[in-house]
Amino acid sequence: MFSILTYSQYFSKKIFKVNTKLQQIIYDLVVSILGSIFLALSSKISFVLPFTFVPVTMQTFAVLFLSMIFGRKSFYMVVFYIIEGVFGLPVFSRGLGVLYLLGPTGGYILGFLVASYVCGLLAEYGFSKNYIKTFFAMIFGNLIIYFFGIVGLLRFVNFDFKKAIIIGILPFILGDLIKIFVASLVITSGWKILKNKI
């Protein structure tokens, strides 16, 4: 059991009994599509605060949560999500197509890609089994998303770095900390439940 480092590995080996390469490809494809749908749904839980045009959504939570559950497979979930949006499916929070990615929130979506890979890699090293490691892995992933989000915002605020931080990071810190706290609790508690079943 403890040689299994991610929930994804547990699901594939213990629940779905994935034993062949073809089964693994099908499993990876299905979870990637389902993950992209989860991301799309999380984008629709959205509202805009009066002092910023960056919407509050559940996407950051979804990206980090999926990363700690599925490891680097979450990267492909974000890739599918972006492809769906580029081809006109209504998966983004407030728009669609390539132009949306070039807009003020496009940087955050690029951040989703990088954060999903980095946090997914940490999950594959067993970080999701320890609360402190899970919490700080998700904090690190969140900082990656903030960084790319700010870079993407800069040209929309006349390259005023301070203003970009005020409208692109500060309004979201408390909410993101709460979401990470809850997600870390859920993820590590899940391993304890599974341990008792083995």
The pLDDT score that the predictor gives to residue 5 is 84
Quickly state the pLDDT bin for 51 (edges 50, 70, 90).
confident
Q: What is the pLDDT of residues 52-95, one digit of tens each?
A: 888 889 999 999 999 999 999 999 999 999 999 999 999 998 87
What is the number of alpha carbons within 13 Å of residue 125 lying toward its C-beta?
A: 10
pLDDT of residue 197 exceeding 70, the answer is no
How confident is residue 198, by pLDDT bands cut at 50, 70 and 90? low
SS (H, E, C) 38-79: HHHHHHHCCECCCCCCCCECCHHHHHHHHHHHHCCHHHHHHH
Q: What is the pLDDT of residue 26?
A: 95
Tally of domains in the chain: 1
Q: Is there a domain that residue 94 lies in? A: yes
Label residue 46 by pLDDT band (50, 70, 90).
Answer: confident
Residue 81's CATH number? 1.10.1760.20
Tokens of 12: 């594939």
Length of the chain as a residue count = 198
The yes-or-no verdict on residue 1 having pLDDT over 70 is no
- Note whether residue 131 is domain-resident: yes
- Residue 3 pLDDT: 67
The parent domain of residue 134 ranges over 7-197
Is 2 part of any domain?
no
Task: Say if 150 falls within a structural domain.
Answer: yes
